[in-house]
Structure 1
C-alpha cells in the first residue's frame, strides 16, 4: 500500500511502506513526451525524495506502453514559430536544453538507487533519463534511440557521456551518429541495461523484487557505494552536460533544426 500518492497531471508519484518511491510519466497520448510540466514535476519529485529519510529507492517508468519519446517537439515548435522566421532565440534554446540537463542531474544526485523501468521507446531525452538511472530493466519490445541527429541536434541530458561510459566509444558512436534504434536484447548484450523481460507484467514483477531488495539494505551503505562508483564512472558528467548545453543552444537555432522540427511537429498533428 502507498502511504502517499499524488497525481500532478503529467506525472504520478507514490511512496510505499517499504520506502520504494515510484514516479510514472503520464502522457500516454504523447508517448510520454516531456513538456515543461513533466520536466518540472520529475525534477521536483526527485529533489523532494532526495531529502526524505524514508525513501530508500526510486523507480522511474512511463504509462501506456512508452517510457518516454523524448522532448515534446510540438511544444518546442510552438515556441519557435511564435518568434516568426527568426525561430528560437539563444535564451529560449538554452532554456529548453537546461530543462533536460536538470532532469539528468536530479536523477544522478539522488542519494538512493534509481531504477528505470522501460517498456517501449526511450528516445531522445527519454533515453538520457533512463540511462541516468543506476539500474535499468526493459521489456523485449523496448528500444533506445538517440534520435537527436535525425533532426539536426546532438545528444543532451548527459547522453554523450552516459552511453559511451556504459557501452564503449565505438558502440556509442554508432548509436549517436546514425540515430537508429537499439532494441532491448541488443542493449543488454552491449552492457547498456541490466535485464530484459517478456512483457510489462514480468518487468513490473522483476523491478518490484529488485526495489524490495534495495529497500531492505542500509541507506547509508547504498549512498556511499553509489557515490564511490560514480567517482570512477561519472567523473565527466558535468563536463558533458556543459558541452551539450553549448552545442545544443547553437543547433536549436540552426535553419536545419527549424525545418526538421516544423516537419516533425506537422506530422504529429
Structure 2
C-alpha cells in the first residue's frame, strides 16, 4: 500500500487497486481551501491514468464529508483588496477551482465512490454528487447552502441534483437552502445506501470497492462512458453557466456582507 499525507488530504492505494482520498481538515469540517482543491484534483488526475488503480473512494475525516468552500479563506482574499472586495479574476478563479474538482471526479476512468459521513454542503455536496456511487450514514445530509450567502450552486450542482431528484425537489433545495437528510436523500434516489454509523458505512464501502476492483477496468470505463452519455450530457453546460453566474455573485455587496459576517462569527 502506498500512502501520502498533506495538511489537507490523505491518500492511499492498496494492493487491490482501491485508492482512497480523505479530506482531512476536521477542525474546519473539511472545508476546501486552495491546498485541498489542488490535492484532490492532482490525485484524481493521477489515479485516472494509473493501470493499478481500479476504484477511488472519496471520504472526509472527523465526522464530516465536507462543509464546502472555506469561506474564511475567501474572506481573506476579499479583505486583502480593501473595500473593493474580490476582483473578477479572483472571483472566477475561486469558482473555477470548485468546477475543476467536479470535472476531475466525472472524468475519472475508474468508478468513484463517495463515502459521506456527516454533512456534505456547498461544493462538498457537488463533490459527493459527482461520484458514481454514494453511501452515507443516517446522520449525513446534503445542503446547497449557496443561496444563504448570496450565491448560486456550482461544481455542477445545478445539474447533478436536478438529474437525481427532479426539477421541483431540486428547486426546493437550491432556492430555500434547506438540508436534505440522508433517509430523504435515499428515498429521492440521490444516494445508494444509508447506514447506522461510521463502522457500518466503512464496511459497505469496502465491500463495494473490492467488488469493483475485481472487474475489468476497460469494461468499467466503457460502461461509465455509456451511462454518462445519457445522464450527464448537460454537465459541462451547467458548469459554464454556474461559472458565469458565480463570478458575478462573488463580487456582489450581498456576498461580501455575508462572508464578512460569517468570518466574524468564526
Once the two structures are superposed, what CA deviation does each residue of 1:228-252 show, in whole Å capped at 9, x if it has no partner?
Answer: 0000000110000000000000000
Partner of 1:262: 260
2:170 match: secondary structure: helix
- Structure 1 position 224, deviation (Å): 0.3
**Of 192, 209, 212, which residue of structure 1 is paired with 2:210?**
212
Supply the distance in 2 between the matched residues of 1:42 and 1:155 (Cα, whole angstroms): 20
1:61 match: secondary structure: strand
What TM-score, normalized to structure 1? Answer: 0.98
Q: How does 1:54-203 map to 2 (within 5 A)?
A: 54-203=52-201
Partner of 1:241: 239
- Structure 1 position 218, deviation (Å): 0.6
1:58 match: secondary structure: strand
Once the two structures are superposed, what CA deviation does each residue of 1:160-199 show, in whole Å capped at 9, x if it has no partner?
Answer: 0000011111110100000000000000000000000000
Partner of 1:22: 20
- Structure 1 position 9, deviation (Å): 1.4
Partner of 2:7: 9
User: Unaligned 5+ residue runs, structure 2?
Assistant: none
**Of 222, 228, 231, which residue of structure 2 is paired with 1:230?**
228
- Structure 1 position 267, deviation (Å): 0.9
Supply the distance in 1 between the matched residues of 2:88 and 2:109 (Cα, whole angstroms): 33
- Structure 1 position 42, deviation (Å): 0.1
- Structure 1 position 266, deviation (Å): 1.1
Q: How does 1:26-65 map to 2 (within 5 A)?
A: 26-65=24-63
Supply the distance in 1 between the matched residues of 2:216 and 2:45 (Cα, whole angstroms): 20
- Structure 1 position 106, deviation (Å): 0.2
Once the two structures are superposed, what CA deviation does each residue of 1:57-98 show, in whole Å capped at 9, x if it has no partner?
Answer: 000000000000000000000000111111000000000000
Supply the distance in 2 between the matched residues of 1:71 and 1:266 (Cα, whole angstroms): 16
Supply the distance in 1 between the matched residues of 2:207 and 2:233 (Cα, whole angstroms): 30
Supply the distance in 2 between the matched residues of 1:84 and 1:50 (Cα, whole angstroms): 41
Aligned residues: 266
Which 4+ stretches in 1 moved above 4 angstroms? none
- Structure 1 position 22, deviation (Å): 0.1
1:14 match: secondary structure: strand
Once the two structures are superposed, what CA deviation does each residue of 1:123-156 show, in whole Å capped at 9, x if it has no partner?
Answer: 0000000000000000000000000000000000
